[in-house]
């Protein structure tokens, strides 16, 4: 699947991570452990996607390589915030999934505003 920038944002924020955030909240409420890697994979399998690291931003980055040396230079989130890094300790996707979801939602709002 050729992934456009718009589709990467849509699938990541409005699809996969919205669902993951719901699952995480439910697990926290019930006191059930969760593993983000499994949740990402489950969403992709359930919705018929096979993408790099079960991440639509990583898949976009893979399809749009760069010669630049910094971490993930073509990640869609870096188009909005050049300092974005999914493993930033403030909002690490695996350790702080609800903070990560809040961060990409914030960036998505900026992305949508910039597009219009």
B/e letters for 40-76, b = 16+ CB within 10 Å, e = fewer, are beebbeeeebebeebbbbbbbbeeeeeeeeeebebbb
pLDDT above 80: residue 80: yes
pLDDT above 80: residue 97: yes
Domain chopping of the chain, boundaries: 5-115
Q: 14-66, pLDDT tens digit by residue?
A: 999 999 999 999 999 999 999 999 999 999 999 999 998 999 999 999 998 88
pTM, to two decimals: 0.93
Q: Which long-range contacts (CB under 8 A, 24 or more apart) does 8-15 make?
A: 8/56, 8/57, 8/59, 8/60, 8/76, 9/76, 9/108, 9/111, 11/49, 11/56, 12/55, 12/56, 12/57, 12/76, 12/104, 13/104, 13/105, 13/108, 14/108, 15/43, 15/47
């Amino acid at each position: 699947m050729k992934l456009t920038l718009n589709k990467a944002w849509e699938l990541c924020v409005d699809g996969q991570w919205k669902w993951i955030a719901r699952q995480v909240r439910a697990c926290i409420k019930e006191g059930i452990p969760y593993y983000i890697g499994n949740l990402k994979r489950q969403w992709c399998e359930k919705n018929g996607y096979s993408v790099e690291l079960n991440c639509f931003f990583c898949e976009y980055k893979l399809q749009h390589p760069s010669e630049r040396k910094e971490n993930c230079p073509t990640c869609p989130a870096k188009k909005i915030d050049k300092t974005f890094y999914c493993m930033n300790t403030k909002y690490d996707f695996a350790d702080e999934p609800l903070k990560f979801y809040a961060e990409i939602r914030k960036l998505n709002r900026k992305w949508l505003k910039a597009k219009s």
